Amino acid sequence: MTNPSHAGSLLTVDLAAIVANWRLIAQGVAPAKVAAVVKADAYGLGAARVAPALAAAGCDTFVVATLDEGIALRTVLPEPVIFVLNGPLPGTEGEFLAHALIPVLNSLAQLTGWANFARAGSGAPAAALHIDTGMNRLGIDELELERLAGRPDVLARVRPVLALSHLACADERSHPMNAEQLARFTRLAGQLPAMPMSLAASGGCFLGRAFHFDMVRPGAALYGLNPTPDRPNPMAQVVRLQGKILQVRDVDSPRTVGYGATHRVTGPGRIATVAVGYADGWFRSLGNRGHAMLGGVKVPLVGRVSMDLACFDVSALPPEIAHPGALVDLIGAGQTVDDVAADAGTIGYEILTALGARHHRRWISGEDAA
């Protein structure tokens, strides 16, 4: 943990906003239940803080990507159901059982492995079955399902508790893949014994009732990213990132700013150097493209982003506002994660999961600091 007075940047995560986002989705998809996806340390925001806040609000099902994420989450969440998306690597099945984690089985090989493991032990351990409907990434495909139909012994030895699939284009409402995957999921799941079904991640929650099935699995929307990019963001903002100004200097042409001398000063002005760089997840692609908010003014990032520093043109602001020690808003009300991602040429998911270890992190609920 960083020392707040030493740190050059402050990352504030609003747990109440995450809970509000979970509730908004729950209202929209009821009676389907809402599992919270907290993989990659809750998209970089701290699963050990985020997951208990959601559990306290009534969320009883969580989703992680890896076994180790599941083991870590189990230490803070004794009761809830935890699904592990990547499923068991050979030889790790016992660990799933020991920590009461439910593997998502992504291929016939993983399914057979789990069935063999089950035969060796007692009872049929719970598992989720991932059916591939068009991602071609993970999942049991149509051919494997046909082969499975000839192996009733395999399915008899596991206890399937969920059939799931994943949409490739859910953030584009009118993309034909959505309806195609929905139809394929319904058809292929129909070849399996009846069990609860789940198709929608964040985007799918907003595609209408047909996509909700028994359970939805949002991640990004819980953390404030816009699940409906062609419409205003219905989610509450969760993240605030502030960077500290280390120096403000007066400059005049013909000087340049930063590595590569990519920004040329064209007149008298002032440059503020802020203690955030690409090692903190402030992407190098924001060079000469990004912004910060200071005193209600959007100030442009000038020159290249370096490892620990970025420079902003604060000529428009008086020294009482743009001074050493002042905090600029890099992510917050005036500039969302999605805005920063657009400037950086990436998606909000990558901005969140890249947030660095040097930020001093605070988790608040509404106004009060935790």
Ligand X SMILES: *Cc1c(COP(=O)(O)O)cnc(C)c1O
Task: Detail the residues annotated as belonging to a binding site for substrate.
Answer: 137, 307
Instruction: Exactly one of 39, 43, 223, 278 is catalytic; name it.
Output: 39
* DSSP 8-state class, residue 189: H
* Residue placing its CB nearer to ligand X in the complex, 229 or 295: 229
Q: Does 243 bind ligand X (CB under 6 A)?
A: no
201 counts as binding ligand X under rule CB under 6 A: yes
- Residue with Cβ nearer ligand X (8 or 224): 224
If the CB atoms of residues 69 and 329 are measured against ligand X, the closer one turns out to be 69
- Assess whether 43 carries a catalytic annotation: no
Given the complex with ligand X, which of 82 and 85 has the nearer CB atom?
Answer: 85
Decide: helix, strand or coil at residue 362: strand
Q: Residue 243: what are its φ and ψ, rounded to 5°?
A: -115, 145
Q: CB 221 → ligand X: shortest distance, Å?
A: 6
Closest CA relative to residue 43, chosen from 276, 213, 214, 201: 201
- Pairing state of beta strands 297-302 and 102-105? unpaired
280 in Cβ contact with 351 (< 8 Å) = no
Judged by CB under 6 A, the chain residues 343 through 362 that form the site for ligand X are none
Spatial separation of the C-alpha atoms in residues 212 and 231, rounded to whole Å: 20
Q: How far is the CB of 40 from ligand X (least distance, A)?
A: 8
One of 197, 220, 309, 310 touching ligand X (CB under 6 A): 220
Query: Which residues in 6-65 contact ligand X (CB under 6 A)?
Result: 37, 39
Select from 67-75, 86-94, 218-226, 354-362 the region that touches ligand X (CB under 6 A): 218-226
Q: Is 175 exposed, middle or buried (0-12, 13-18, 19+ CB in 10 A)?
A: middle
Give the Å distances, CA to CA, from 227 to 137, 201, 281, 347.
21, 9, 22, 12
Range list of β-strands (E), 53-137:
61-64, 81-84, 102-105, 126-130
Answer yes or no whether residue 202 interacts with ligand X by CB under 6 A: yes
219 binds ligand X (CB under 6 A): yes
Q: What is d(CA 92, CA 125) in angstroms, rounded to the nearest whole number? A: 14
Residue nearest to ligand X (CB): 219
Asked if 259 is an active-site residue, the reply is yes
Q: How many residues bind ligand X (CB under 6 A)?
A: 11
Piece of 107-115, 212-220, 264-272, 299-307 that binds ligand X (CB under 6 A): 212-220
70 binds ligand X (CB under 6 A): no
Rule CB under 6 A: choose which of 38, 81, 85, 337 binds ligand X.
85
128 near ligand X, rule: CB under 6 A: no
Among 8, 160, 218, 243, contact with ligand X (rule: CB under 6 A): 218
Least distance from ligand X to the Cβ atom of residue 55, Å? 18
**Which of 196, 125, 122, 200 minimizes the C-alpha distance to 158?**
125
Q: Minimal CA–CA distance to 355: which of 243, 273, 278?
A: 278
**Smallest distance from ligand X to CB 298, Å:** 28
The radius of gyration computed from the CA coordinates of the chain, to the nearest angstrom, equals 24
Q: Which residues lie closer than 8 Å to 119 by C-beta, 6 or more apart?
A: 157
Q: Is 341 in the site for ligand X (CB under 6 A)?
A: no
Region of 46-54, 117-125, 211-219, 338-346 interacting with ligand X (CB under 6 A): 211-219
The 8-class DSSP code of residue 221 comes to G
The residues annotated as belonging to the active site are 39, 259
Binding site for ligand X (CB under 6 A): 37, 39, 85, 166, 201-202, 217-221
